[in-house]
Structure 1
Amino acid sequence: MTRTTSRLCLLLGVGLLTACSNIKYLKPGQNLYTGAEIRINPDSSGRVKDEKSLKAELKGKTRPKPNKKILGLRPKLYIYNLAGEPKKKKGIRHWLRTKVGEPPVLSSEVRLKLNNDVLRSYLISQGYLQAAVTGDTVTRKRKTKAIYTANTGQRYTINKVTFPPDSSPVAAIVNANKEKSLLKPGSYYSLDVFKQERERIDNDLKERGFFYFGPDYLILKVDSTIGKHQVNVNLRVKETTPDAGLKPYTINDIRIYPNYYLNRDSIIRRTQPLEYKDFKIYDRRNTFKPRVFERMIFFSKGDTYSRKNHNLSLNRLVNLNTFKFVKAEFTPLDSFKNNQLDLSVYLTPLKRNSLSLSVTGTSKSNNFVGSEVTLTQLTRNVFRGAEQLNISVSGGFETQVKGTQAGVSSYSLSAEGKLSFPRFITPFFEPRSTSAFVPKTNVSLAFQLLNRANYFSLGSVKGEFGYNWKESAFKEHVLNPISVNFVKLISQTDSFRLARQNNPVLFSTYENQFIIGSNYTYTYNNQIDQTRRNNLFFMGNVQTAGNVVGLFFKEKEDGSKRLFNTSLTQFVRFEADLRDYLKINRGLIWANRLNLGYGYAYGNSSSLPFVRQFFAGGSNDIRAFAARSLGPGTYRVNPNALFADQGGDVKMMLNTELRAKLVSILYGAIFVDAGNVWLRREDPLRPGSQFRLSKALDELALGTGAGLRVDASIFVIRLDLAFPIRKPYLPEGQRWVINDVAFGDKGWRKENLILNIGIGYPF
């Protein structure tokens, strides 16, 4: 018997054992409910449109739900039975039975008549007005299945739609927008569409000031007696609609309470307001400049009420990230007798200062361990204009615990200050944004010190001025028209100096240089829409350096351009990151990523500077290889070297990961990563480093593995164990190493297994 046959027999045996075990735990007279089956028009030749989808909808509405199945088995039920009745309300047995396990769903819980009524009601709502549903159960070997037979009849369509004939203000607006109606002659009768039509009309009226109107004030009368399985729909405003719902309202006073606390309500209201344009601002401490609210509140005195402006105002105030609670209250003047509303905006500020700390850890197969600590201080409302000052400092180290350089460490120190203004600041005019998201002007200054033991110390100072704005909930833009970065090689060892002297590419990469240019990033992300089965993320970035500034500098005798005797870098760099998240079912997601990068150094530069190069390997990249240790191309760095930053001008990476919910907040994953980096020009001292499109696929590194994740929503802790199955630095024909995988071999594990510890998902 072959090994494969043995495994199949073992799996089948476990399945049969699990199934039998679940049945034997049932009490006498009990039967296990295994689910529902839907049959549509079985005794007629008539078929309904999209029958498969309709069956799924009907099946999803039946109750109860059977025990969950995986590959035909019911592991949760088996665990419940195996754990037995716990004697205490704590301990492993209690946890297995109540948290991991699932009690049996019995046939006695099935309510056929109730399900018949639910399914018939749904069919009627979808236009099957003559539908009938009957249910029955079938029991075999103590397993019960419910069978529901639906005779749908002909599905009704809309023949004609009529709107209110009178000349009232409400009727005038309804008729003016009737071409937008969702009710179209020839379309199917659908209760869901009827509800959406009422909401559409209500929204139209809210935009015209009808603050107290509601969808329930509309009635759709349906006449199904006209024959030919058609209906006439007559839309009317109910006669019982109150007067307040039949007239538009305008804005009277606008009162703003920027420091509102419930326990100080009476004191705040007695405060003498500051009148600024159309606003009355109750801010006795003068905490905010009045101009802030002019950009946040989209109402002026005398304006007609608009739901759009209402929502824009609320969203802007929330997205300002300055207030803990935001509330807008509209109150009528003189108890609905006139058509005016007072607007009161209640704002409770967040704490002015907040401090956060984050810690990450890494462990690599080449005996390197490391950690990084980041401390962040956030100060809000710095200049009374809802500005934010974010200051962060971080420090990290990496040391080899075994091997030829045990005890030798490298480290990095960085600090960054970022000041954000909640508006566009431009030299000549201030663009007015009318989206729900607050645009920001950012000024930042950052410093980083990178020390590679036995090699070099590198310092970097970077300053940027730019803008950040969201076009919509899914689309975001970041434009930094001014970006200045000064990179200096502070110190270097003799061995590293000699290596640079003998390698022009390495010399250019690590020389002192000014990077003066611009950058732009576009991001599309619809993951906040949880109703989608398929979510997308896209990030595109372009960076330029020395393009415009280089025009103002003359070339030196050696052909270089310099600023303060420092090389002026010239390059264009592109990067694109595309991710796709497919929800296979409620607890299973298939995530994929494609990451491409290309950098072109020209003129004054022969290669991208170190701080702009692409790297491959690491916990968020190709997890079967140590961070920054891959490439370029088929070149392999000494695995015992502490300095393993193998940068490149070109990057290609593909990731695929299947994520499954195991229990509670514990998730599992299996993944495959592929990718590499290359140089645009061949480095003679690193053979095989040049990018050639025809050979790129053959030079990809490939790794696979599995992981566990603790996803508590507010944070994610991740452990991924990975190993390589394709090593690009091996000779051609020998790069696939999947046949060498030997988990029982200590030497193989030491050389190939990598444990990645991270915060958050890899992508």
Structure 2
Amino acid sequence: MKRLIAKILLFFITPVLIISCNAVKRLEPNEDLLVKNEIFSDGEKVKDSRIYSRLYQEPNTRILGFPLKLHFYNLARPNIDSILATNYLENEKKNKFLTGLLSRKQFEKYLHSRVEFNKWLKRTGEAPVLVNEEEKQKSENRLKSWYWNNGWFNVEVDSEIIPIEDEEKRAKVEYYVTPKTPYVIDSLKTEISSTALDSLYELNNTESNIKKGKQYNTLDFNEERDRLSQLFRNNGVYNFDQEYISFDADTVDTDHKVNTTLIIKNRRNNEGDSITRTPFKIHNISKVNIFTDYAYSQRNNLLTDSARYEGYTLYSFDEMRYKPEAISDAIFIKPGTIYTDTDRTRTYNRLNALRVFRYPDIQYTPDPSDSTGTDLVTNIFLSPLPKYSLGFDFDVSQSNIQEFGIGFGGSFLIRNIFGGLENLEFSGRGSIASSTDAAASRDENRFFDITEVGADMKLSLPRIFLPFNTEKIIPKYMSPFTSMSLGFSTQRNIGLDKQTFSGILNYNWKPSKKLSNSFDFLNIQYVRNLNPENYFNVYRNSFEELNNIAQDSNFDFNDPNEDPVLEIPDEADEFIDYVISDEFPNTGLTGEDFFNVLDIYERKLRLTENNLIFATNFTYLWNTRESLYDKEFSRFRFKVETAGNLLSALSGVFNYEQNDQGFDKVIGVAYSQYIKTEIDFIKHWDLGSDQIFAARAFGGIAIPYGNSNSIPITKTFFGGGPNDNRAWQAYDLGPGSSGSILEFNEANMKLAFNGEYRFGLIDEFKGALFVDVGNIWNVLDNVNVPEYKFEGIEDLKELAIGSGFGIRYDFNFFVLRFDIGFKTHDPAQPAGKRWFRDYNFSHAVYNVGINYPF
């Protein structure tokens, strides 16, 4: 163990020792490398990263403790042109030799490549950050600004450059801050010229960000500007802008108190060469006109069709193609209401989500029939997308169960098929892939051993499709959709193969930008296994155990010899029937053998039986990530699913037939009945300097009841793989401490915890260090093997721990990932020998993935 740790430390320390001695080799005698900044406030060291971020200079980026990019920069020669000229161009002997060896053109290319490589080193690396008096002064000014903006108006800042002892040409900068007494808000007066604005302010001033007794903070004043601007514009003040808001702060002879005045002037009007001011007014929407088929090329054409619905007027240049109630349902701007920014934004978002129109154009103009100047006419111009759309796609994929996959597909979309903004889409797909477990493949000589083809039909409706009104439960601002889909797929995989038929009725809505809900009112799946007789050819470990038991029994083999082998599938099935029949006392087997055969039989039955799943599920998703480029965000997902309850409730009506195990059958298949929950939480922290720490926690459990004593394999959990615990192959982890004795290990309970530190390396290359923790277990089902089961908190000692490192390349639109995982704590090993048992490269798992695992 000690030798192993020493090797690991040597592996990481050696390059550090080699590189560190060259960090300052390019510096001039009077130059010092900045290695650290320290800030002290009233003698105490500051730890707030927000304050350090204000400094103008930061030390060179460090990766795992050493400035890798700086060393790349130092590899470049500062005067490469003169070096090449001296060594080659001006050296007649060497010049003549190389041009004779390479030819003049190749020699010039060689010199050019040297120059370009030198430029690449500088571009890829990071120039040394040198201690600089001018930059230090700028940092002092920034610190003063930060403290001033946070209420310390009399702050004083000084700094000092301190050479690092025993380290040549290295120094740190210490900043000394004396904040003094902070200023607090003492009073807030208002000077609001427009009566309408003053009334709105007084009705909502309890929500102000500026409060008496609170320490002064410039950010509070900026947020107050935003709040007031939104308040006014969402209450009818159509032409209001933030530039009208200003604050006056009086601190003269106030004993560290701030007397603040909010100033909002009247609206400025430019009339020729003169400027006048008029009070702001509350604007109302008098009319809403919707042009349903607008195109710039026909803007001067006559409108030929129109319709009125609930105050809206719809126009069309051709025959009206949309139901007025469907169009109006997507418009939040209503005649007879005051103007609000929120209604405008919601209208934009809803119309875009329909996938029927291009980006809409919403314009507001004064109503010429209104003498008060407060009414607005809203004109909404909609440009339809083509009625029919044909699309093709191609993708490269990777998952926990396939190393590499190629997919292709096509789709045919019919927009507004029934006139109510409904979309009908037909799609087909196909894929080929290589499985992660080539040993289980039916043809080890074939790289692509998984193929799948499928087709789907999906109807989307921009509303909740139910026989009663759901507006009070799910308002239309939540952008509700209903989708009905039918699908079919057939898959040729590692040997069993299957066909899947599905039907889904789904409701989806978004209460807010960060929150979305999805409810499958009905999710029907019928899974038909095509080659159940091939089971023992796929699950060889089960077959070998069964064959060994048969050799120890009194069973008559078809081909008796010294080492008989059961024929697949008939003789293997015959032996199982022989053991579990009433003739067991004559088999010559022990009770343990009997139960082992029974376990093999029950597992074979579960994995080869057809599945009928009538499920209902609900998914709650909270996601603060706004774009793919967000580096710091949180994501929480909760899902609950129940299956079989509807069919169970109808059992008394239809008097179902039963199978040999006593379970009810529908269309000849025992339907599944269970409850399943999943909780998934992901958090990313931006550490700065292209460094991110990402963490994930997952928990899931599926409990059978009623008409089932086990979970369909499509609904179980597995461990391992490039997106899970990377120290184990997919399906090779667990259950429990069993040691993954089967080819494909799955169970109905799972815990997983992952942590990953990501950092930039060179150009688009990224690095990572990770720790993965987790396992799967059986609980409350028909599995009775103690090593498989989770029976209490003490079984958490069976959590598997993997650790390792990875290299990634960012292509912008996807990330290619290579991770190496080492078994750090292996629950399959005997107790007391589970830590670092196989912690070496020969037992490592090499993962190739696309995009980040979480």
TM-score category, normalised to shorter length: 0.7 to 0.9
Give the letter aligned to residue 261 of structure 2: N
Aligned to 1:63: 56
Cα contact 2:304–2:319 (8 A) shared by 1: no
Could you tell me whether the CA contact under 8 Å between 2:704 and 2:780 is conserved in 1?
Answer: no
CA distance in 2, matches of 1:166, 1:398: 72
Instruction: Give runs of aligned pairs for residues 384-423 of structure 1, distance below 5 A.
Output: 384=419, 385=421, 387=423, 389=425, 391-398=427-434, 406-407=444-445, 409=449, 411-423=451-463
One-letter amino acid matched to 1:24: K
CA offset digits 1:730-752 (Å, max 9, x no partner): 4545544x233343xxxxx3xx3
Determine which of 504, 519, 541 is the counterpart of 1:464. Answer: 504
Residue 360 of structure 1 corresponds to which residue in structure 2?
397
Residue identity in the other structure for 1:492: P
1:491 is matched by which residue type in structure 2? Answer: N
Residue 648 of structure 2 corresponds to residue 624 of structure 1:
no
- Identify the match of residue 659 of structure 1 among 746, 758, 765: 758
Structure 2 partner of 1:740:
838
Give the secondary-structure state (helix, strand or coil) at the position aligned to 1:193.
helix
CA distance in 2, matches of 1:103, 1:5: 33
* Uncovered stretches (5+) of structure 2, i.e. residues with no partner: 82-111, 270-276, 535-567, 578-597
Q: CA deviation at 1:224?
A: 1.4
Q: What is the CA distance between 1:411 and its match in structure 2?
A: 4.2
* Corresponding residue number in structure 2 for 1:504: 602
Measured at CA, do residues 324 and 84 of structure 1 come closer, stay the same or move farther in structure 2, by a change above 3 Å?
Answer: farther
Higher alpha-carbon deviation: 562-571 or 278-287:
278-287
CA shift for structure 1 position 679: 2.9
Q: Distance in 2 between matches of 1:758 and 1:10?
A: 25
* Residues 73 and 646 of structure 1, relative CA distance in 2, 3 Å threshold: closer
Tell me the secondary structure at the aligned position of residue 155 of structure 1.
coil
1:74-473 to structure 2, matched below 5 A, reads 74-85=67-78, 88=112, 93-94=117-118, 96-107=120-131, 110-111=134-135, 114-134=138-158, 142-143=169-170, 148-164=175-191, 168-238=195-265, 241-242=268-269, 243=277, 246-257=280-291, 264-265=296-297, 267=299, 271-272=303-304, 274-277=306-309, 278-282=312-316, 284=318, 286=320, 288-323=322-357, 325-333=359-367, 338-347=373-382, 352-361=389-398, 371-377=405-411, 379=413, 381-383=415-417, 384=419, 385=421, 387=423, 389=425, 391-398=427-434, 406-407=444-445, 409=449, 411-431=451-471, 433-434=474-475, 436-452=477-493, 456-473=496-513
Q: 1: CA distance between counterparts of 2:739 and 2:469?
A: 54
TM superposition shift of 1:577 = 1.9
Higher helix share: 2
Q: TM-score, normalised by structure 1?
A: 0.85
Indicate the RMSD between aligned Cα atoms, in angstroms.
Answer: 3.9
CA distance in 2, matches of 1:605, 1:273: 60
Q: Is the 8 A contact 1:213 1:245 kept in 2?
A: no
Alpha-carbon distance in structure 1 between the residues aligned to 2:290 and 2:772: 54
The structure with the largest alpha-carbon Rg is 2
In the alignment, what sits opposite 1:756?
Answer: 847
1:246 counterpart SS class: coil
Q: CA deviation at 1:646?
A: 2.5
1:150-192 CA distances to partner (integer Å, 9 max, x unpaired)?
4433211111222347782221211222222222111112222
Contact 1:388 1:421 in 2 (8 A): no
Alpha-carbon separation, structure 1, partners of 2:4 and 2:616: 60
Aligned length: 737
Matches within 5 A, 1:539-578: 539-553=637-651, 554=655, 556=657, 559-578=662-681
Deviation digits for residues 114-133 of structure 1, max 9, x if unmatched?
55544434433322223344
What does the per-residue CA deviation read over 1:543-598, in whole Å, with 9 as the maximum and x for residues that have no partner? 22221321221364763322233322222222222223233344222222222222
1:746 aligns with none
Q: Using the alignment, how far apart are the partners of 2:800 and 2:712 within structure 1?
A: 24
CA distance, structure 2, for counterparts of residue 694 and residue 300 of structure 1: 58
Range moving further from structure 2, 566-575 or 684-693: 684-693
The alignment status of 1:608 with 2:711, answered yes or no, reads: yes
Name whichever of 388-397 and 606-615 sits farther off. Answer: 388-397
Distance 1:425 1:231, change over 3 A: same
Moved more, 511-520 or 581-590: 581-590
Q: Which residue number in structure 1 is paired with residue 686 of structure 2? A: 583
Cα 1:543–1:9 shift into 2, 3 Å: closer
Give the 3 Å change call, closer, same or farther, for CA 67–248 of structure 1 in structure 2: same
Structure 1 residue ranges without an equivalent (≥5): 744-748
Q: Secondary structure at the match of 1:294?
A: helix
User: Separation in 2 of the partners of 1:543 and 1:721?
Assistant: 35
1:506-545 to 2 correspondences below 5 Å: 506-528=604-626, 535-545=633-643
TM-score (norm 2): 0.76
Q: Distance in 2 between matches of 1:6 and 1:607?
A: 47
State the secondary structure of the residue aligned to 1:740.
coil
Between the aligned partners of 2:56 and 2:748, the Cα distance in structure 1 is: 58
The structural deviation recorded for 1:98 is 3.9
**Distance in 2 separating the partners of 1:543 and 1:10:** 48
How far is 1:453 from its partner? 5.0
CA distance in 2, matches of 1:185, 1:233: 10
- Equivalent position amino acid for 1:152 in 2: P
